[in-house]
Structure 1
C-alpha cells in the first residue's frame, strides 16, 4: 500500500488515501487528545496477504535475495535513510498523531533513531559473510547466509522505529518482506511505503498490508510462502504466533514481548540522578505516557533512602502531571494514551491496585475531561502477589516498595534498571537478574549497535546490533 497525505494541525484535519485490493472494512484513526475521528484507513484481508506473499517471492527470485549484491542493498538503505532525514518533520508529525508522543521528542528520538538504524544496517549489508571450515585434505566445507523471506508484525507504541528494527536487518541480508503495522497506528508505515519506492527498491521487495491481527496477522503467520516471522507485541499474541507458525510450515520465529522491569535503587546512589532516570524509566518523558515494554514500573528502594526518594519522586511525578497536554504544544512532556481501549485497561489496573490494598500516593485518575489522558501515578504498599506488580500495565503507573524484593518474581525478563555508585555490586545484581538488558545508573538507553531482547516470557531472539542479522 502507498498513500497520499495532507494535514493541517491548526484546524485538526487530516486525510489519508490508502489502497487494499480486497479490503472491505475501514478502521477509524482518532486524535488522541480529543477522541475525535480524523480519518479512516481501509484494512486488508487474507487475500491481500496472498498477493503480497506471491509478489515478494517473485521479487526475491527476480531482483533481490541473491540476485543483488550487498553493496547495492547497502546503497538503497543509505538512500532510504537520507529520504527519511529529508522528511523528518512530516514523519515526526505523523508519529505524534499516530501515538500521541510529543512532536519534538518524536523527531529527535523516534525519527532520528530510525534514520540511524537504517544507516547502521546499510553498513552491514556487504559484510554478512560465511566461513570456510577445515575437515581434511580431501574435503572443503563452507557456510553462507541465505535470506528467508520474512513476515513482520509490529506494535502500536513505537511504530516507525519498530518498522526500522524489522526492515533494517531483513533488507540488509536480502530478505523480501510482508509487514503488518498495527491497525491503530498505520500512518507512518503507509507513508514510508512512498520512500521505499522513491529510494529505488525493486517492486515487491517490501509489501505493507494494513489490517487486524485476527485476519491479516493470522494470514501472515500461517502463510506457506513465508519462512520467518518477526513479531513485537503482547506475550498472549506471541504464544498464538508460535503455535500457528509451528502448525503451518515450522517458521523460524523471533518474538519481542512484554516486560515488568524492576528499578532497584541502593542507598549509595546519586539520588537526584536516580529520580530523574526512574521517571524516564517508567513514564518515558516527552509524551510517551509509560507505553513501553521496558518501563521500569516496579521500583525497589533501599530502606535508608526510601522516604527521601518517595518525596522527591512524588514532586517529579506531579511536575510531569502539570506538563500533560497536546503533543504538538510547546512545553508538553506527558501525552495521551494510545486509545480508549488502552485508557480503560490502565484505569482498570489502577482500580485493581486500590482493591488489592495498594495505596495511591499520587495520581490514579484521568487527566482532564476529553481525550485519553491519565495522571502519572505512584502506588505504595504494593505486594508481590498483586496484579499491578505482576502484570504489564503499559501506562504511567509506578510502584514503590520499602524493601528490595525479588526482581525476578515475574513471568517477564526484558530489562532492569540499577542505581548504585558501587559498580561491583551493581554488576553482581545485574548478573543475578533474569533480564535481557541491564541499565546501570540510567534507563531506556537503547542503541542501534547493542542487542535487545528478553528472558522468559519477554521473547525469543534479539533485535539491533549484529545479533539481529542472525535472528
Structure 2
C-alpha cells in the first residue's frame, strides 16, 4: 500500500491534474463543446486562481441530451437489461472510482475548497453508494397481490424513464453518487447537471462511466447554470423525474416548472437549520462540545445538515461553551491541500460575502460574539469558525440557513422548551440529541420534526438508512432501498384465469 500523500504530494498531483482537465460537456457518449460555444470560469477558492474554462450548456444542449437519453431508454439496451447485468456495470464503475479516488477527491478540493481529507471521506461515501445500489437492484422484488382463483395480479417495478439530477457544490461527488446510483441501477437514463461551482469531478466521472461499459446515452453530463440548462431540464416535457439537492428557494421553483410542464416527479433535498440538543445529563461535556463544533464547522459549515442551532440546557451552558470555544479554536481554516486542515476555503466570493453579512447582522441584532467572526487575510476565501451565544428565536442568524461556519447557541431550561425551540423552524432536515436518559431520548426523538435524528452523535448513518427531510427541507430520500424505489414506477397487471 502506498504511503498517504502530504501537502507537497497533493500539490504536485494538483499541478499535474490541472494541466489535463476535461472541461467539455458529455453528450451521447462524446465530450463536446456547448452548442452556443459559451464557457465559464471555475476558480480555486483557496488561491483565487482560475482552474479552467468549462462548457456552459443551455437549452439547446439540454434538448439534445434529453433526446439522446430518451432514445437510449426506449432502445432498451440499459432499461430492459437484466438487473444482474446492470449490477456488473455499476460495480465496475465503483471499482474505477476506487482506482481514481485520489484524483476525484482532489478535483473537488480544488474546485470548491474543501479539505482533501474531507474530500477523501466523501469519495468513500460515493463509492459506497454506487456499490450499495448496484448490489440492491437484483434484490428488489415485485409483488403478487392476494386474489381469488379467478385471477393472478402482479405488481411490477419498472424504471421511470429519463431522470435529470441537479446536484450541489458542497459535496460534489458524494451527492452525485447518491442521485445517479439508484437511478441508473433501476434502469433509467440520467442527465447530470453539476453545480457551476464544482463541475470537474462530474466530467471525470463521465469518462469512467464510459470505461465501465455504460451504454451510449444512458449517462450525460451538462455543466452550466441553473437558470439556463437547469431550467431547461426542469421544463422539459420529456424528462420524467427531477432529483435535486440545493436551496429551498430553488426547490420551490423547480416544483413550479414541473407543474408548468409534464407533472414530472420531483424529489427535493433542500435547506436546513438543524437543532443540536444538549441536555445536562449528557456524558463528558468536553467531548460532546467537540462533536458539536464538528457538526457546524465541518466542510466550512457548507453542509445541509450542519448543526447550526446549538440548544444547551442552561445549568451547564456556560461550562459547555468554554469547551466549545476550545474546540473551535482547534478547527481554524487552512490550506485545503494540507491533510491536517479541518476547515478549508469558502466556495466563492458571493458566499463569502453572504456569510460575513450574516455575522455582521448577528452582532447588530444583539448576538454575543464569543469566537471568530472575521475573514482571514490573503488571496483565499477563508472565514474563522464563529460562535454566537445568547441567540433568540427572532434573530436572523438563529432562523436563516447561513451555509457557513457560524454557530448560534440557545439556552433552555426544560425538555418541553427544548423541543419547542428545536421545532420552531420552517426546516426539518436533521436534529441531534445528547443525553444518557433512554426515556428522554425516545420521547424527544419522536417529537422532533426532522427527517433524521442523531442520538449521541452527529451525522451518523450508512447506506442502509434513508437521508432526507420534512417541512421545507424537502420530500425525497437519498440512500438505502427507499431511494431505489423512488426511481421506479409501479405497474399493476391483472391476469384473468378463466
TM-score, normalised on structure 2?
0.90
Q: Does the Cα contact within 8 Å between 1:70 and 1:126 map onto a contact in 2? A: yes
Distance between the aligned counterparts of 1:52 and 1:171, measured in 2? 16
Looking at structure 1, the residues matched to 194 and 393 of structure 2 have their Cα atoms a distance apart, in angstroms, of 35
Residue deviations 1:217-259 (CA, integer Å, cap 9, x gap): 0011011111111010000000000011011000111000000
Q: Please name the residue that 2:291 is paired with.
A: 277
Match of residue 390 from structure 1? 399
Which residue number corresponds to residue 413 of structure 1? Answer: 428
Aligned to 2:143: 131
Equivalences for 1:166-177 in 2 at 5 Å? 166-177=179-190
Distance apart, 1:146 and its partner CA? 1.3
CA contact (8 A) 1:64 1:174 kept: no
Q: How big is each residue's C-alpha offset from its partner over 1:401-456, in whole Å with a ceiling of 9 and x where there is no partner?
A: 22246101110000001100112201211111100000001001241111011110
Question: What corresponds to 2:45 in structure 1?
Answer: 32
User: Structure 1 stretches of 5 or more lacking a match?
Assistant: 1-5
1:249 maps to which residue? 262
Gaps (5+ residues) in structure 2?
1-10, 25-31, 413-417, 487-498
SS at match of 1:150: strand
Equivalent pair of 2:92/2:212 in contact (CA under 8 Å): yes
Bigger RCO of structures 1 and 2 (CA < 8 A, at least 6 apart): 2
Counterpart in 1 of 2:91? 78
Deviant stretches of 4+, over 6 Å? none
For residue 231 of structure 1, give the secondary structure of its aligned residue in structure 2.
strand
> What does 1:6-85 align with in structure 2 at a 5 Å threshold?
9=14, 14-16=19-21, 17-18=23-24, 19-85=32-98
SS in 2 for 1:145: strand
Cα pair 2:290 2:323 within 8 Å, conserved = no
Alignment partner of 1:58: what SS? helix
What's the CA shift for 1:368? 2.4
Q: Structure 2 CA distance, aligned partners of 1:469 and 1:329?
A: 37
- Cα deviation code 1:78-102 (max 9, x no counterpart): 1000001111111111111122111
Measured against aligned partners, the alpha-carbon deviations of 1:373-412 in whole angstroms (never above 9, x if no partner) come to 0010000111101111110010000011222461011100
Number of matched residues? 460
RMSD, aligned CA: 1.6
TM-score, normalising length: structure 1: 0.95
CA–CA distance in structure 2, aligned partners of residues 222 and 292 of structure 1: 28
Q: How does 1:366-381 map to 2 (within 5 A)?
A: 366-381=375-390
Change (3 A) 1:464 1:12: closer
Asked if 1:115 is matched to 2:88, the reply is no
CA distance in 2, matches of 1:181, 1:446: 25
1:182 aligns with 2:187: no
* SS of equivalent residue, structure 2 residue 68: helix
> C-alpha distance in 1, partners of 2:345/2:331?
13
